Structure 1
Amino acid sequence: MSKKPFSFLIIFGALVVFLPKGASADLGPKPSVDIDVVYNQQSIPDTNFSARMLWCLSQDQKQVGMEDKTIPQLEINEYDSPKNCYWVPARLAGGGQCSNGSCHFGYMPPSEFKLAVFIPSIDKVFITNEISRTNFNSRYKAELFSDGSAKISETTPVLSSDKVSSFAKAFPITIILELLVSLIFLSVRKLPKKILAYILLANIISLPIVWFLFPLVKLPILAIIVVSEIFAVLFETYFVYLLNKQIISFKQSLTLNILNNLTSLFVGGFIFGLLGIFGL
């Protein structure tokens, strides 16, 4: 690979990392976490109870933010000496009013967290082990025990209904946008339109991998997005190039697929966000 196409990949990676933070800070669907809670392997004795997601912050970080005095028992401030930080409530993880053995959190749940649960009928607070969140919509099971211990484990299905429905909305948006960009690119460069068929086939292969396989990797969400987008660009570039060597150069294929993926990432993300705002 020449230096110039390689520099395109570096620029693309930088855009993936930095642009979404400003472009979609408050747009579109937000991550969600649902947690099923049991006590001694049975249903929680209280119909309504409370919980907080905890994250570990430094001394300076934890001083920033407002305290929530509504449930004083859940104002956790637990020092973690190995990590040199304090486990405190994650204020931006909206939710925590639990009922019928289930808790829901949204907006900005942390990627690494513990769960603190307060059961009023026994006047006890339980704090689970630390666990990672790598899926956009996650599900967990928290098990509380009479000795005061608690553990949490992930139960998110690989093919959850919300993930499948989100994919069903994102797939046609991606295909339409990338075929449109490809058509313009091929017309400007005077390349054969039959390449569109290979663009379509490459997306049919790569999109399910990006949506369903990459989230299984235990990495932070931002890292998964970056790695999956780079994979999509490289896979689609080589797929189109290797099957059309006689009519398109590697550089042209790389440029085309970077343009395609940037368009689907940002324009497609904007459209997907609008659909979420209007409940579609």
Structure 2
Amino acid sequence: MSRNTISRYLHVQLLIIALFVIFLPLTASADLGPKPSLHIIAENMPDGVCYLDLLVNYTLKHGRPNISDETKYEPKMLEVLKKYNVDGWRPAMVTGTEIPMFGDIICDVKDGKCTMDFTYIGIPDEFKIIVVTADGRTVVSNVVKRKAFDSTVNFDFMTGKAAERSAISSYFLQFIFTCSGTLIIEGIVLLLFRFSLKRNCKPFVAINVFTQILLTLVIFTMMYREGIMAAFLVYWPFELIILIIEACLFAKFLQQHSKVRRVLFALTANIVSFAVGIALMMNPALW
């Protein structure tokens, strides 16, 4: 068997493995898109058990509560949240959302601080924060209008003020994380396709940075102008555009080997990096 035949065989095997990795999660979940997230940092919190929820201002026509096992919650505190409805503002986790959101309402307060995480498409673009304490006290924040796909909001229990951190800094950190991860994963695939990293370092890095900047700008623009759903819907077709752009650029600028192998590398690298991203999103404990 010739060296070229062996090389082609290995590439086909790698592509099959990559396809298997990406389509395997479909058996467990039919919705594998990018998931918006909301990270809340609460400060000056009282000692003891506290419940924190998001208030939304729309009438629920369809949907259900986002917490399932009510037995783990203190009944009186939970009832306070269930009954809260001021000027149409109601708790999203306890009373439900049109589209599901994941998270919990129990604050694990340590030294006056706690962090809360909410994920999935049901996260509202506009909300208030409500905290219920063990002694029956209720604190409600000002309205927060999200501008970042992955938001971080600071909340001060004593003043009731909540503010989203700069969307620009959020997207910059998101870009650094995703771009670095992409370079590492696709760099490994580049080596597996027997490309010299030394000879191809500049075009490889430049193309990946360019496409990651494009993706970040598109998501940022849609999130800022239209909200979560628009950013979510744009993500999928734009990922396909990114794949086509990278295939064309790698075919033109990578050195060594045929254009067919360069395109095959681009396809495989994108599939593998996408599969790893899906695995991370489906297993938050990994990060």
Q: Same fold by TM-score, threshold 0.5 exceeded? A: yes
Q: Among all aligned residue pairs of Structure 1 and Structure 2, give the percentage whose two residues are the same amino acid.
A: 12
- Asked whether the 8 Å contact 2:148–2:171 carries over to 1, the reply is no
Look up the equivalent residue of 2:152 and give its one-letter code: R
Structure 2: where are the runs of 5+ without partners? 1-18
The equivalent of 1:117 in structure 2 is 131
CA distance in 1, matches of 2:147, 2:123: 5
CA distance in 1, matches of 2:164, 2:269: 34
Question: Structure 1 pair 212/24, CA: closer, same or farther in 2 (3 Å)?
Answer: farther
Displacement of 1:265 in angstroms is 0.9
1:132 aligns with 2:140: no
Displacement of 1:93 in angstroms is 1.1
1:269 aligns with 2:277: yes
The equivalent of 2:53 in structure 1 is 52
CA distance in 2, matches of 1:145, 1:275: 34
1:22 aligns with 2:26: yes
The equivalent of 2:269 in structure 1 is 260
TM-score normalised according to structure 1 size: 0.56
Question: Structure 1 pair 88/34, CA: closer, same or farther in 2 (3 Å)?
Answer: closer
- Asked whether the 8 Å contact 1:51–1:98 carries over to 2, the reply is no
Question: Structure 1 pair 77/206, CA: closer, same or farther in 2 (3 Å)?
Answer: farther
1:23-74 CA-partner distances (Å, limit 9, x unpaired): 67599xx976432346xxxx44x23432113566733313686473522222
CA distance in 2, matches of 1:132, 1:151: 15
* Alignment root-mean-square deviation, CA: 5.2
Look up the equivalent residue of 1:102 and give its one-letter code: C
Q: 2:107 aligns with which of 79, 97, 100?
A: 97
Question: Structure 1 pair 233/165, CA: closer, same or farther in 2 (3 Å)?
Answer: closer
TM-score normalised according to structure 2 size: 0.55
Look up the equivalent residue of 1:118 and give its one-letter code: V
Q: 1:200 aligns with which of 196, 204, 208?
A: 204
CA distance in 1, matches of 2:149, 2:268: 26
Q: 2:213 aligns with which of 209, 213, 216?
A: 209
The equivalent of 1:222 in structure 2 is 232
- Asked whether the 8 Å contact 1:110–1:133 carries over to 2, the reply is no
Q: 2:170 aligns with which of 136, 155, 158?
A: 158
The equivalent of 1:232 in structure 2 is 242
CA distance in 1, matches of 2:38, 2:213: 23
Structure 1: where are the runs of 5+ without partners? 1-14, 187-192
- Asked whether the 8 Å contact 2:171–2:220 carries over to 1, the reply is no
Question: Structure 1 pair 95/210, CA: closer, same or farther in 2 (3 Å)?
Answer: farther
1:77-128 CA-partner distances (Å, limit 9, x unpaired): 64987xxx97532673135415214332256584316322224567224154
- Asked whether the 8 Å contact 1:142–1:152 carries over to 2, the reply is yes
The equivalent of 1:61 in structure 2 is 63
1:142-166 CA-partner distances (Å, limit 9, x unpaired): 35687xxx56331153378787566
- Asked whether the 8 Å contact 1:50–1:119 carries over to 2, the reply is yes
CA distance in 2, matches of 1:178, 1:96: 45
Count residues with an aligned counterpart: 238
Question: Structure 1 pair 97/276, CA: closer, same or farther in 2 (3 Å)?
Answer: closer
- Asked whether the 8 Å contact 1:141–1:152 carries over to 2, the reply is yes
CA distance in 1, matches of 2:205, 2:24: 27
- Asked whether the 8 Å contact 2:250–2:263 carries over to 1, the reply is no
| Structure holding more strand per residue | 1
Displacement of 1:199 in angstroms is 6.0
